[in-house]
Each structure stands twice: as structure tokens, then as C-alpha cells.
Amino acid sequence: MKPVEIAKNIYWVGALDWNVRDFHGYTTYKGTTYNAYLVVDEKIALFDAVKEPFKSDLIQNIRQVLGPRGIDYLIVNHVEPDHSSSLPDLMKVVNPGKIFCTSMGRNTLLEHYHREDWPYEVVKSGQTINLGHRTVKFIETRMLHWPDAMFSYLEEDRLLISSDAFGQHWCTSERFADEVEQSELMKHAAKYYANILLLYSPLVKKLIETVTKMGLKIDMIAPDHGLIWRESPSRIIDAYDAWSGQKPRRKALIIYDTMWHSTEKMARAISQGLAEEKISVQLLDLKTNHRSDIVTEVLDAGALIFGSATLNNGMLPTMADMLHYLRGLRPQNKIGAAFGSFGWSGEAVGLINQAMEEMKIKVVDPGIKVKFFPRQEDLKICEELGKKVGKVLKEET
């Protein structure tokens, strides 16, 4: 895609990746974009770059705006390879006089590309550089979501170039958030938050407070993935504020896997109990739902109920995968319970309870184990569990 002027003399010069479907364990059903921004002022500055296979898109776009000349400054807000793996080639072509990055950014660039000879210029939070008519202020955003990360704020344009924050993995021909279907946009933004930033929610809260205190006037937020927030950018900041609060809703997820459908029958009975308590409930079979989509639903759910049959003295591998992934993202403020069918030793429910305790999910019931196929009375007990979880959730929300 050709360059797009997003504000006077500021161009999107990134690349569209329609085909990527996996982003380190996160399913990107609709691809993604690698956004880079070129500012043409007395000094020419490029903010971020693209993934290596897309380097010619970036170089062509820069050429379209600048012709054969190089750039003065390269700003590396974040070193992860989706934004920097084109640098070894790009550096030869555009030959910047300086690379601005955080101190961790410099180390991380060295640890990736082993180039001691690049012209690093380490900046700290609050530091500014002048491009001529513009001032760029850097704001370190350590651990959001890597230690090297920072934002670049263009004061006169009131433009926040926000690196991975506020992004979405969604490839579209449009460049602005106000040009696309809104509910789909927010779903992609939520999935991105849930899978990439949930773990750092306390830091997100702090960052929002810091930025508010700094009194930055923001007319536009340009992230490194997906669409640019132009009309009321406060919308995505408010969404981050809400998501980082992890306030539980009256919503329950029954996440399960089954071999011969007994655990599934139990899942359906539990969902009945929850529905009777007027709790919104979703049945999520781990064979048909990807962990990264389930985590998106976890974001505002109040109750997580996990079900697994016992296989070889353990839980099913899909459940181990799910719990492992979820534990890493440290969800807060959830209640939970476990259930499952078994044949002789029946370890799955106990192991799930253990995992929930480790994650500080409040386990509201010892859980239900049914030997082989459930009888009507077993299913009744499952329904009662659903009601019980529903009642506790209503007390807590």
C-alpha cells in the first residue's frame, strides 16, 4: 500500500500483512499491519519499521515520499522483530545520522543485530528532540510490553505514536479507526489487549495516570499495528482503563475438553444452572476454540469453570495448554470451579483446582467428578453447581 498522509507532512509508510495467521500463539485470522511513520520536517524522522519480509514495502514508501535522499533520525520505540527485523537492510538504504531509543532499546538492538557501529542515541522519559517545526517527546513505557518500549509524542501535532499499545492485529485497506466497522474494531483491540497486555494491567493503569498527569493533549494515536485512532482517541484510552481494571461482569465461561462426551454433558448441565441464574454463559470446547480467542472472552468474565476428562492420570493436553497460557496472563478478580468425567483414578479435577489456586482464582466449590457416563442425578448436581457459581457471581458483581 502506498504512503498515506495522516497529518500534515506525516506519512504512514508501513506494510500490510494479509496472510499472517499466527503471532507467537495468538491467532490473527485477519492478518495484521506493521505501521511505520515518516515525518518530513527540517530533520526527517522515521518512527519504527517493519518485519523483514516487508522491508521493500517500507523502502518503496519512503522513496515515494522522499525520493532518493536518506533520513536524519530513526526512532525505535520497540525492538521486537515485527518492527525491527528490516533494520539491517533499511540502515544501508536510509542511513540515519542517529537512532533514538531507550537504554534498554539500545541493549536489545545490540542483542538482536550485533551492530556496535550504529549511531545509537539513548533517550529517557520526558526528553525531547527538535525536528524543526516539531518537538518530539519520549515517554518510556517499560514492560509495555517489552523492557525497551517507549512512546513518541509529537507535541505540535498532538500525535502519540504508541508502539504496540492501542494496536490491533487486523489488516485492512483503511488506515483510520473511524473508517471501519466499530464492533469488529473493538473486538480486535480487546483480543490484542487480552493476549498481549493483560499481564501488565497494573502498569497500564499507572501509565494512563502518568499520561493524564502530564496533561498531553492527544488528537491522534498512531499504533504500530492496525488502525490509527483519529476521531476521539480517548475511546481506546478509556477502553484500556476499563480492561486494565479487570472488573468482572455477570458472565461465565465453561471451558472444557472431552473424549467421549461425558464431560461435555456435564458442561451443558452446568450452563443450564448458570442460565437459570440469568448469568450470560458460553460453552467453549477447547477443540473448536483457540486459546487466544478464549482469553479475549476471559477479559470481562466473572466466572471461569474448567472441565476435563482424566487421561493417563492427568487432565487433557488442551486443558493443560489453556491453563498454562492463562496463568501467564495473570487474570484478576475471577471465581472458578472444576468438573470432569473419569474412569478409575480421576486426577483432572484436582489438578485444575490446583492450577486455579495458583492463579488466585477464587474456587467456590470443591468441583464435580463423575465416573464414566453421567446419570440424571449427576447432571442435576452439575446444574446445581452452575446455580451456585451464578449466585456467588451475583453477590460479587
Radius of gyration of the chain (CA): 24
In the complex, what is the shortest distance from the CB of residue 112 to Fe ion, in angstroms, rounded to a whole number?
13
Is residue 192 annotated as part of the catalytic site, yes or no? Answer: yes
> Where would I find the H helices in the chain?
55-66, 81-84, 87-94, 103-113, 182-192, 201-214, 234-245, 262-276, 291-298, 317-329, 348-358, 376-396
Asked if residue 3 lies in contact with residue 19, where contact means CB atoms within 8 angstroms, the answer is: no
Cβ(353)–Cβ(306) below 8 Å:
no
Cα dihedral sign for 308, 314, 320, 324? positive
Q: How many CB atoms lie within 10 A of CB 25?
A: 12
CB of 351 to ligand FMN, least distance (A): 11
> Does 78 participate in catalysis according to the annotation?
yes
CA distance linking residue 124 with residue 23, whole number of Å = 30
**Under the criterion CB under 6 A, does residue 28 sit at the interface with ligand FMN?**
no
Residue 259 as a binder of ligand FMN (CB under 6 A): the answer is yes
| Under rule CB under 6 A, residue 342 binds ligand FMN | yes
Total chain residues near Fe ion (CB under 5 A): 3
Q: How many residues are given for the chain? A: 397
Q: Nearest approach, Cβ of 78 to Fe ion (angstroms)?
A: 5
258 binds ligand FMN (CB under 6 A): yes
Read off the C-alpha cell for 305: 469453570
Site for Fe ion in 71-100 (CB under 5 A): 80, 82
Which cell goes with 144?
Answer: 509495555
d(CA 99, CA 102): 10
Q: Which residue is nearest to Fe ion (CB)?
A: 80
By the rule CB under 6 A, 350 interacts with ligand FMN: no
* CB nearer ligand FMN, residue 167 or residue 340: 340
244 near ligand FMN, rule: CB under 6 A: no
Contact pattern for Fe ion over residues 39 through 78, marking x by CB under 5 A: ----------------------------------------
164 is annotated as an active-site residue:
yes
Name the amino acid, one letter, at 222: A
CB of 350 to ligand FMN, least distance (A): 11
Residue 195 interacting partner from Fe ion, ligand FMN, none (CB closer than 5 to 8 Å by kind): none
Question: Residue 348: phi, psi to the nearest 5?
Answer: -55, -50
Which of the listed partners (ligand FMN, Fe ion, none) does 328 bind, with a CB threshold of 5 to 8 Å by partner kind?
Answer: none
Q: Is 345 in the site for ligand FMN (CB under 6 A)?
A: yes
In the DSSP assignment, the letter for residue 227 is -
Least separation, in Å, of the C-beta of 372 and ligand FMN? 5
DSSP three-state, residue 93:
helix
Whether residue 145 lies in the annotated active site: yes
Q: Is 239 in the site for ligand FMN (CB under 6 A)?
A: no
Q: Of residues 286-325, which lie at the interface with ligand FMN (CB under 6 A)?
A: 309-313
Name the residue with cell 506493521.
34
* Residue 158 site contact among Fe ion, ligand FMN, none (CB < 5 to 8 Å, cut-off depends on kind): none
How far apart CA 173 and CA 18 sit, in angstroms, is 10
Q: Is the dihedral of CA 73, 74, 78, 79 positive or negative?
A: negative
Shortest spacing between CB 32 and Fe ion, in angstroms: 8
Whether residue 24 lies in the annotated active site? yes
Residue where the block lists cell 501535532: 157
Q: Does 17 bind Fe ion (CB under 5 A)?
A: no
Q: Which residues are catalytic?
A: 24, 78, 80, 82, 145, 164, 192, 225
Interface residues with ligand FMN (CB under 6 A)? 258-263, 309-313, 341-346, 372
User: Which residues of the shown chain bind Fe ion in the complex (CB under 5 A)?
Assistant: 80, 82, 164
